[in-house]
Structure 1
Amino acid sequence: MRKRRNFRYFAIFVITLSLPVTIFLLNRKTSFFEKAYFNFSGREANLVVDLSRSYSFVPHWKYLAQGGEDKNDMLTPVIQKVKKIEPYYIRIDHIYDFYDPISKDTGGNLSFDWGRLDIQIKIIQAMGARPFLSLSYMPKALSQRTETDLPYSWDEWKTVVQRTIEHVSGNRGLAIAGVYYEVWNEPDLFGGFKLSGPKNYLTLYEYAEKGAKDAQDVLPFAFGGWFQDFFDYALKNDLRVDFYSWHRYSKEVDDFENDIENVNLWITRYPKYMNTQFIISESGHNSEIDEGYDTNFSAIQTLAMYAATFQKLPIVFLFEIKDGRGQTKNWGRWGILTNESFGDPEEKPRYKAIDFLNNLDWKYYPVEGSGTWVKAIATKSASGNVVKILVVNYDPYLSHSESVPITFNNLPFKNFTFRRSNFLGQTIETEVSTNSLSWTTEQFFQTNSAAIFELIPR
């Protein structure tokens, strides 16, 4: 009896001691159990590239976003470095509260001075890109209190949007075709907008849409906004929605893929909007300051994310272009370039990831067999002769390495140079001759590494 009682006391003692450890493990941001499940349930890759079929594509990684780090000369110091990676679009927000284009005269009438905003737009053009403008935040001349508050007059908000579009996209203004206009930036966070109540995003969007509809003598442009559930309201009120945008920050590449699956599912409820374009207008691995943004971690996550979303989403903006000013050069800010306060802005690893992706061009080949950690994109060069495949092994928990079989079917040539160019590493070449239409190689990848392989005919 005493032994049984002693055992009971011992069990209670062990459970009491282990409880804090269990709670710690359960509450860690990257939990022990989550990591274990990820490692044990994952699927290794077996890549197969079909070289008999190729398709045109538009790179979805040539889209960059800049946050409101500085009101003055935010992008001027990095024009040439950004131009080098050939962006298609650059997104900026704070266009109304940073550059103060709207005021009121003594009679209370709206007055417009676009000079400071034009400087930013012309910088974007100097980088070889077009502007993607987030219509934010509320102009001081209109706001009831702060830049994230409601306007005194919804009709004035409508007029501001109309005049913005007429100036940037209008034939009598800057005459830029293909500009995107996004209604507000993160309305649920900056302003606390909801889909009901006094601070209603539906009203904000509706009056902005009326302004877009009233814009005269303008070149083609795209207009859209946030909040999945506002499509019910848009349908009921016959509102224009060219695109639907959202932000995604996550170390888990699956989260990006799940987003895409979800929006493609729920949009089927709205046949009128089936052609709506889906856009991630900010992306990264963490929405907070994170030292990973200064290391290869963010670069490999970026490569894996773009490989996983390739041909699933047309546009994914990378946030952001340039770090804000900090106490040190590297302080975990989101920029792909450092701030000029510490000398000439330096290219961070994520910048080099975009440059690495730019080696892929012209047409893509179907690739099957990606796994949990390994993602791939296969392309052929503009000459049509060189086959390229980007392979990325990404593990957010920094532990998984993998030997990856890569099979090329329907080879267009029998003798070729096989080149492996490691991301931020060495290049290795071997000569290959084969009489088969298929050729397989097995390539080893350390945790969080990437390479581009080329088949160069000779």
Structure 2
Amino acid sequence: MNLRRKRSLAKLIFGGLLLIILSTGLFIGLGFKDKVANLFSEATGTKAEIRVDAGSNLGVLPQPWRNLAQGGEEPDTITKVAQKIKLLQPNYIRIDHIYDFYDVPNGWTKLDSEVNAILAAGAKPLLALSYMPNGFGADITAAPDNWNDWYALVKATIEHYSGKNNKNISNVYYEVWNEPDLFGGWKAYGNKNYLRLYRVSAQAAAAANNTLPFKLGGPATTGAYPNWIEALLNLVDAENLRLDFISWHRYSWEAEALSDDAGLINRLLLKHPRLALKEKLVTEYGPDPENNPAYDTGLGASHLLATIRASLGKIHKIFNFEIMDGPGPDGAAFWGRYGLLTHHASGLQPKPRYNLLLWLNQLEGQRLAVTGEGSWVKGISVASGNILRLYLVNYDPRGAHQETVPIVINNLAPGGYQVNYEWFQGKTQTKAVQITGGTFVDQVFMRPNEIIRLTLTH
């Protein structure tokens, strides 16, 4: 073997060893697949250059996040947490298991206690008409043995909570079942047909007497499935049944998931002009349908704000799932469960999503135009009186992206301003500035999944 061939072989061997070493390093870090995805994302994504037009007016900012949902961790949950969640200023609180948990056929006392707790928290109830009471069917997710029993139960429920001579609550939402595709294996066809369940429920709602205004809808499936939603739309159109809202659940890491769902439903509604303006409700929402550490960390908060930004003006109500954890294994307080709060046995400790919702209490007023958002950094801005607020989120579920974000706010009134920078669950900085040319210019460095609130007070 000549010298040149020996050198070439040595280079080949060295290069191979180097590739192995580098590859091993990648696997030791984020993992090769994630690392490549991160590198590709960084190369193809767009960084933000945020511009706010203080002279714009996009109308009053909608607040779809002011709604909460509680699952079937245990009965009487809202009673245990009412004072904590009152601070979040919720508009609606959703509960399911209203028939099987609260023994409704034998009286309203137990369920009334939970509904009273919802009212005490400053909210109104969304009641998921589920599951079958004892004795109505083979089990709690079965179809009723006698559909007249279900009709009478739904009618009595509406007359009790919306009835002028009973609880007398206006604008209660009644949702027909909870995740019928999962709990009970219902279909939009065949023998165990959700469409029959909805039809009988709508007929019962139409027969309810002496009530205040209320809403009825569904199908509350585990996703925005076109076959389910189109079947329901076809049914209510063909039989002229009541449908006040379309509801579904969504668990996804994609911030645009709810926006995409709304677009899909809007396309289905093109065939149903009578129903085109019906409300869209996501009655359970989170990043993951299974337990996940993100529910206990700032990543969950970042995901929530990024999703709110993407779905503004497209979804009427988003119900954050859920309010309180069930009891943790071996008494653990934080175990990746969905709750905004730990279980009451662990002291109802607030998690980052709860604290973010507190922060969002100040996100109200006249919505301002924001341009220059990037692939990761998104923004929402509002003005109220002499105060302008800008919320920024750098959402990256991989926890890798960081960037320096230029901020330009135009069309400000001249004069002195106090500028306050607040990092969510972090530091605060304040400075005074003098605006003479109508423009404020600055920049902020944002680490992965950081949230910053910038407040200008004139």
TM-score of the superposed pair, with normalisation by structure 1: 0.88
1-structure distance, mates of 2:79, 2:275: 38
Match of 1:75 in 2: 78
* Aligned residues of 2:381 and 2:390 also touching (Cα < 8 A): yes
What is the Cα deviation at residue 305 of structure 1?
A: 1.4
Q: 1:86 aligns with which of 73, 86, 89?
A: 89
Shift of residue 78, structure 1, vs aligned partner: 1.7
Say which of 309, 316, 319 aligns to 1:317.
319
Residue 131 of structure 1 aligns to which amino acid in structure 2? P
Q: Does 1:45 align with 2:48?
A: yes
Alignment of 1:188-203 (within 5 A): 188-203=181-196
Q: Is the 8 A contact 2:94 2:126 kept in 1?
A: yes
- Quick one: which amino acid aligns to residue 317 of structure 2? I
Q: Following the alignment from structure 2 to structure 1, what is the Cα–Cα distance between the partners of residues 446 and 156?
A: 53
Provide closer, same or farther for how the CA distance between residues 400 and 31 of structure 1 changes in structure 2, counting only shifts above 3 A. closer
Q: Which residue of 2 aligns with 1:217?
A: 210
- In structure 2, relative to structure 1, the CA distance for the partners of 1:140 and 1:34 (3 Å cut) is farther
Within the alignment, does 1:354 sit opposite 2:347 as a pair? no
1:127-138 superposed matches below 5 A: 127-138=121-132
Name the amino acid aligned to 1:420. Answer: Y
Moved more, 307-316 or 446-455: 307-316
1:187 equivalenced with 2:189 (yes/no): no
- The aligned residue for residue 367 of structure 1 is 370
Q: Work out the CA distance in 1 between the residues paired with 2:182 and 2:92.
A: 24
In the TM superposition, 1:319-398 aligns within 5 A as 319-327=321-329, 328-342=332-346, 344-381=347-384, 384-398=385-399
Whether 1:170 aligns to 2:163 is: yes
- Cα shift at 1:368: 2.0
Could you tell me whether the CA contact under 8 Å between 2:258 and 2:315 is conserved in 1?
no
Note the C-alpha offset of 1:363.
Answer: 2.2
Give 1:97's aligned amino acid: D
Contact 1:414 1:436 in 2 (8 A): no
Query: Residue 427 and residue 99 in structure 1: after superposition, are their counterparts in 2 closer, same or farther (change >3 A)?
Result: same
Report the Cα distance in structure 2 between the residues aligned to 1:93 and 1:413, rounded to whole angstroms. 53
1:154 to 143, 147, 150: 147
Q: What's the counterpart of residue 301 of structure 2?
A: 299
Indicate if the aligned counterparts of 1:308 and 1:376 stay in contact, CA closer than 8 A. Answer: no
Residues 1:267 and 2:260 aligned together? no
* Structure 2 gap ranges (5+): 1-8, 10-15, 220-227
TM-fit CA distance, 1:36:
4.8
Structure 2 CA distance, aligned partners of 1:414 and 1:121?
50
Residue identity in the other structure for 1:442: Q
Structure 2: distance between partners of 1:46 and 1:194: 48
1:113 aligns with 2:107: yes
User: Which shows bigger deviation, 436-445 or 280-289?
Assistant: 436-445
Identity among equivalent pairs (%): 38
Q: 1:231 aligns with which of 230, 233, 240?
A: 233
Aligned residue number for residue 400 of structure 1: 401
Aligned to 1:109: none
Instruction: Please state whether the residue corresponding to 2:201 is helix, strand or coil.
Output: helix
Cα distance in 1 between the residues matched to 2:218 and 2:372 = 35
Shift of 1:435: 2.2
- TM-fit CA distance, 1:168: 0.5
State the secondary structure of the residue aligned to 2:122.
coil
Read off the aligned partner of 1:429 and give its amino acid letter.
Answer: T
Counterpart-to-counterpart distance in 2, 1:440 and 1:270: 48
Task: Give secondary structure in 1 for the equivalent of 2:191.
Answer: coil
Counterpart of 1:278 in structure 2 is: 280
Separation of aligned partners in 2, 1:41 and 1:263: 30
Alpha-carbon distance in 2 for matches of 1:254, 1:218: 38
Residue 103 of structure 2 aligns with which residue?
100
Q: Shift in Å at residue 369 of structure 1?
A: 2.3
Q: What is the TM-score with the length of structure 2 in the denominator?
A: 0.88
Change (3 A) 1:369 1:268: farther
- 2:223 is matched with none
Partner deviation per Cα, 1:236-266 (whole Å, 9 max, x = no partner): 1111111001111111212222112222222
Q: What is the correspondence of 1:19-30 to structure 2 with a 5 Å cutoff?
A: none
In structure 2, distance between residues paired with 1:260 and 1:47: 26
The answer to whether the 8 A contact 1:77-1:345 is kept is: no
Moved more, 39-48 or 80-89: 39-48
Q: What do residues 384-417 of structure 1 show as CA deviations (whole Å, max 9, x unaligned)? A: 1010010111101110012222221211233212
What is the distance in 1 between the residues matched to 2:146 and 2:36? 52
* Runs of 4 or more above 4 Å deviation: 30-37
Match 2:134 to one of 140, 143, 146? 140
Structure 2 Cα separation of the partners of residues 326 and 52 of structure 1: 50
Q: Distance in 2 between matches of 1:198 and 1:42?
A: 49
Give the C-alpha shift of residue 428 in structure 1.
Answer: 0.7
Tell me if structure 2 keeps the 8 A contact 1:95–1:137. Answer: yes
The alignment partner of 1:90 has SS state of: strand
Cα offsets for 1:300-356 (capped at 9, x unmatched)? 1112211222222221110000000122111111001111212x2111111001011
User: 2:173–2:214: 8 Å Cα contact kept in structure 1?
Assistant: yes
CA contact (8 A) 1:96 1:136 kept: yes
Are residues 413 and 434 of structure 1, via their aligned partners in 2, closer, same or farther at CA, if it must alter by over 3 Å? closer
* In 2, Cα distance between equivalents of 1:185 and 1:430: 50
1:374–1:392 contact (8 Å) kept in structure 2:
yes
Deviation of the 1:37 alpha carbon: 4.5
Secondary structure at the residue paired with 1:366? strand
210-219 or 289-298, which deviates more: 289-298
CA contact (8 A) 2:256 2:311 kept: no
**Shift in alpha-carbon separation, 1:254–1:34, aligned structure 2, 3 A:** farther
SS at match of 1:75: helix
Partner amino acid for 1:354? L
Q: 1:40 to 1:228 in 2, by over 3 A?
A: farther
What does 1:401-420 correspond to in 2, within 5 Å? 401-420=402-421
Q: Is the 8 A contact 2:61 2:382 kept in 1?
A: no
> Are residues 1:208 and 2:178 paired?
no
Per-residue Cα deviation, 1:79-104 (whole angstroms, up to 9, x for no partner): 211111111110000001111111xx
- Distance between the aligned counterparts of 2:134 and 2:36, measured in 1? 49
Q: How many residues align?
A: 424
> How far is 1:424 from its partner?
0.5
Residue 272 of structure 1: SS of its match in structure 2?
Answer: helix
Code of the aligned partner of 1:69: E
